[in-house]
Amino acid sequence: MSKTPTNSPNLPANSLPDWGTLVPVLPGDGPRPKALYTAIRQLIETGAVPAGAKLPTTRDLARRFKLSRAAAIAAFETLVSEGFAEARVGAGTFVAREVPHLPREEFRTPAPDPATPAALPLTVGVTQSDPATARIFRRLMSRHLAHPAPEHFRYGDPRGSAELRQAVAAYLRSARGVRCEAHQIVITSGAQQGLDLLIRAAIRPGDAVWSEDPCYPMAHTALKGAGARVIGVPVDDEGLDPARGEALCPNARAVYVTPSHQFPLGVTMTMRRRMALLDWARRNDAWIIEDDYDSEFRYGGPPLTALQGMDGAGRVAYIGTFSKILFPGLRTGYLVAPEPLLNAILEVRARTDRYPATLTEAPLADLLNQGHFAAHLRRVRRRVQAARDVLVAALRDHGKDRLDIAAPEQGLHLVAKLLGRGRDTDIAAAAKAAGIGSRALSPMFIAAPPVQGLVLGFSAFGNEAVREAAIRLCTVIAQTA
Ligand SMILES: Cc1ncc(COP(=O)(O)O)c(C=O)c1O
């Protein structure tokens, strides 16, 4: 076990931190001493409570978190025995002056989902191809194959072709208010590679990174896999709360956010929170990784400008994808790199997969430049909005006593919160056995108290299939809950 002095604390030593702000609700359902121990240990390790600070009394903590006194004492005993805290007779318990580094549980990457031959109705994140766009894409691709330009058949630029980068930059400036030039764009293999490149360029193993809590699981996995210390920052009706993040870990290196449409909860981050997050990043030289995965699907008026477009300090790295608006098989996304990260990103890119597929870049650039993409957006948005309405109506009609549903103003999925006592993981498993796709909400929480619910996709199925699956899902819930 190694020991290091705790991070530079923001709170003066021996002050009593505001425990109500730091841990307002104990996370998880597990044993209470373990939950309290874990919460306090996280605060100590992240530097949110400084070395030498006096801990509240076990009586205070028991009262505040509605625990037995014995549970609080047991948590303190573990903290003391592991060297995170020191008990001083007659004076109380204090954060240790040097905090130990205990070996952490090894992070095992979960096996990726195998590709399913056909997604079950209500599966999240899948899309349906648009026949008119497929025809246009085929024509554009045939033209490039019939009149091959050498650059589409040879080794390419690690950033992607200049033509596609220019087209993407123009699109992002006008549709999302992103401030960018083509030289900052990197064409990626979907949003996931964009995230991976940014993590490798900006984050070192052991760095603290804020993440929305609950979080998009593939982002959480990418951060953990890179050795980041992921600090779950709770999401409420206004999105991620930077004040809570600052209380938990003021000097994190980066934050991962989906501000336009939080995945999974569907909240849009308010302007107040956006400004607070930008301000925190500027003050701490932290990076904001903005994942704008589905903002093309906005049903109630124009989308809010991307966070990147509001950032005057160059702290936001922006990620987008064609996986949702076109199709995931294209494996094409993009990132807009802040200038100081660009070289590091390109270095990682060049040594991992070198550059994106040059051949598919050409018809995609044509699709954007020739006005087909704008027409495609209008068609697909109308279709998906209709599917959303069908799903919401069917769930409200058939599951009204069991589900709490808000119709999302954006995106391809909704969250149906469970009102009864059933567990979302059991229901999702039973639904799958009945041929219905869904994802349990509760496993997407990191440290915040998990909410029981189902995440349901409506983007890839005909209206009748959506209605029929929703009705059957309500029957499964009634039988499982
Ligand atoms: C929050 C979020 N980000 C990004 C993506 C897209 O990833 P990719 O472009 O790698 O397919 C998804 C897909 O489900 C998502 O839900």
Distance CA 421, CA 438 (A): 18
Ligand 1 and 125: CB distance under 6 A? yes
Q: Which atom of ligand 1 is nearest to the CA of 333?
A: 9
Q: Choose one of 294, 326, 332 to mutate for the ligand 1 pocket test, by most ligand atoms within 8 angstroms of C-beta.
A: 294
At residue 218, the pLDDT reads 95
For residue 5, is the peptide bond before it cis, meaning its omega torsion is within 30 degrees of 0?
no
Ligand 1 centroid distance, CA of 308 (Å) = 18
> CB under 8 Å to 392, separation ≥6 — which residues?
405, 407, 414
Ligand 1 and 37: CB distance under 6 A? no
pLDDT tens, residue order, the chain (481 aa): 444 444 433 344 445 566 666 766 676 667 888 888 888 887 887 777 888 888 889 998 888 888 899 999 999 998 988 888 999 988 899 998 887 765 555 566 666 666 555 689 999 988 888 999 999 999 999 999 999 898 888 899 999 999 999 999 999 999 999 999 999 999 999 999 999 999 999 999 999 999 999 999 999 999 999 999 999 999 999 999 999 999 999 999 999 999 999 999 999 999 999 999 999 999 999 999 999 999 999 998 777 899 999 999 999 999 999 999 998 889 999 999 999 999 999 999 999 999 999 999 999 999 999 999 999 999 999 999 999 999 999 999 999 899 999 899 999 999 999 998 889 999 999 999 999 999 999 999 999 999 999 999 999 999 999 999 999 999 999 999 7
Q: Choose one of 192, 262, 319, 456 to mutate for the ligand 1 pocket test, by most ligand atoms within 8 angstroms of C-beta.
A: 192
At residue 14, the pLDDT reads 43
Q: Which atom of ligand 1 is nearest to the CA of 258?
A: 1
Ligand 1 and 291: CB distance under 6 A? yes
Ligand 1 and 191: CB distance under 6 A? yes
In this structure, the residue with its CA closest to atom 3 of ligand 1 is: 293
Distance CA 124, CA 456 (A): 6
Ligand 1 centroid distance, CA of 198 (Å) = 15
Ligand 1 and 323: CB distance under 6 A? yes
**Which pTM value belongs to this model?**
0.83
In this structure, the residue with its CA closest to atom 13 of ligand 1 is: 125
The domains of the chain, with CATH numbers, are: 2-101 (1.10.10.10), 146-370 (3.40.640.10), 375-480 (3.90.1150.10)
Ligand 1 and 192: CB distance under 6 A? yes
In this structure, the residue with its CA closest to atom 12 of ligand 1 is: 293
Measure CA 227 to chain center. Answer: 17
Q: Which atom of ligand 1 is nearest to the CA of 193?
A: 10
Q: Choose one of 212, 322, 323 to mutate for the ligand 1 pocket test, by most ligand atoms within 8 angstroms of C-beta.
A: 323
Ligand 1 and 322: CB distance under 6 A? no
> CB under 8 Å to 351, separation ≥6 — which residues?
none
Ligand 1 centroid distance, CA of 231 (Å) = 21
